[in-house]
Every structure is written in structure tokens, then in C-alpha cells.
Amino acid sequence: MSNQAFEVYERELEEQHTRNEARRIRTRVNEARRSPHTAGIRWPFELLQNALDAGPRAGNTAVTIALRHQDHAVVFEHDGAPFTLRELAALLSGGSSKQFESEETTGRFGTGFLVTHVLAERTHLEGLLVVGSDHELFRLVLDRAGDEDAILKNIRACKDAIRAAVAIPSPDSVPSARFEYLLDSTESLGLGLESFHQALPYLYATRSKLGQVTIQSHDGKIEEWIPSPASIETVPEGVVHNRDILVRTR
């Protein structure tokens, strides 16, 4: 095969891979939106899991989470470790960046993340990207509406948005990720918020990296869950891990 022909082959192969990604995204998003009850219960945990999979930023011991219902939008943000290039690629492709059989992560931006589109087909994302020893801020719109060609077009638009990322000299006060969903309906929203609220005590018992959680309802009420450092108590049958949680409303 000539070099020219092989270059055409590689372009066609890349195009086919990207089209397969668009097809997978469309399938998973449609499945979520056809099952608003099941997906409605899952969406906050998919966002939380991805944040905890990132782990704390350097110098931190926990990941702070904020979940806000503002007007006709839901905002989820965290201060965990910034995106890597691999993680960002997984997010755009609907794949997963986790290592196979990893004991530390359960799937950083795998297909489970697509469940969150039960809230809305369009998601505005602002995040930090680590590039070597530097940080860059990117903004893009994940638009999973329309047919395969429309999703394919959005994948390309997101690549252009990533290319336009700008350097951030001091990223400390910038959230690592901020997802904003412009709500289609509130059915799945309410299911997710309720299940998340009920699960929080158990999440603190099982996820040591989970730090302060702030939940803001549409009426402006704010609830803050503030954990103490975990302590270990030795008992005859083994050890007991203790963690006190202060819940504050305002």
C-alpha cells in the first residue's frame, strides 16, 4: 500500500472510531432518558463517583462537593484533582479512563456518566486540565441531543473548545470541574436529590476521601455536611472507624 493510500486509511479508521463513539453515546443517553426513574436515582452518584475517583488535589486530604439547584439548572462542582488528558478524552468519547480491575476507581467518566443526561441532553462543563506542571481552564458544551451526526459534530466542537483552553497561573480557587445541566424536567432531579441526601451518612462511612458536601435547594436553603477526620478505635474483634458529621442549615 502506498503512503498516500495508508494515510487515507488512517483517516477513515479514525472517522469510524469517532462515529462508533457517537453511536454509543446516543444509545446510552437514550436508555437513560427512557428510564427517568432508574436514571433519576443514579445521576448524583455518577457525578460523585467521578469526583472521588479523581482523588483530592495535591495538598488536600478530601474532595469538597457542591450540588446546587438554581432556577432551571442544576450545578455540580468539586475541587478534586484536575482532569488529565486521558480523562478528558474519556469524557468526550463516552469511554472510561480507569485501569482494568483497578481497586481505587470504579470508572472515571465511563458510560455511567451518560446517565446524568437524564437531567438534560446539554451539559455546560468548565474544568481544570493539568498539562505537565501547568493548569489550563477549558469550557465546552456536551450536547448529546439529536442523531449520530449531531453528536459527532459536537464531539468535534468540544475538541476545538479544548484547543482554546487558557493557562491558569493560580488554580487554587478554581473548581476542578463544574457541570451545569439546564433542566428538561424536575422528575429525575427530585429522585436524585432525595436518594443522594439519604445516602450521605453511608457515603461518609465508606468513602474516606469525601469531604464537605453543600446542597442548595431551589428555594435558597443551604445544607452543609462537614465531616471530622476519621479516627480508629481498637476493639476485641478488630477495629472501629469513627467519623463525626456536623450538619448545618441556613
Question: How would DSSP label each residue in 34-50?
Answer: H-HHHHHHHHHHHHHHH
What is the domain partition of the chain in residue ranges?
3-249
Rounded to whole angstroms, the Cα distance separating 129 from 122 reads 21
Write the pLDDT tens digit of every residue in 112-153. 899 999 999 999 999 999 998 899 999 999 999 999 999 999
Which residues, at least 6 apart from 113, have a Cβ–Cβ distance to it below 8 Å? 46, 47, 50, 91, 94
Res. 175: pLDDT tops 90: yes
pLDDT digits (tens, 9 = 90+) for 89-104: 888 887 544 443 334 4
Radius of gyration of the chain (CA): 20
Contact between residue 134 and residue 116 where contact means Cβ atoms under 8 Å apart: no
Q: What is the pLDDT of residues 70-80, one digit of tens each?
A: 888 999 999 99
Separation between Cα atoms, residue 66 and residue 59, nearest integer Å: 20
- What gap in Å lies between CA 216 and CA 238, rounded to an integer? 39
In degrees and rounded to multiples of 5, residue 59 shows phi and psi of 95, -15
- What is the per-residue pLDDT for 186? 85
71: left (phi over 0), alpha (psi -120 to 50) or beta: left
Over residues 204-216, mean pLDDT = 94
- The class that CATH gives domain 3-249 is alpha beta
Residue 109 pLDDT > 80, yes or no?
Answer: no
Reduced to 3 states (helix: H, G, I; strand: E, B; else coil), residue 33 is: helix
Closest C-alpha among 101, 89, 100, 109 to residue 48: 109
Q: 82: which 3 cell numbers?
A: 484536575
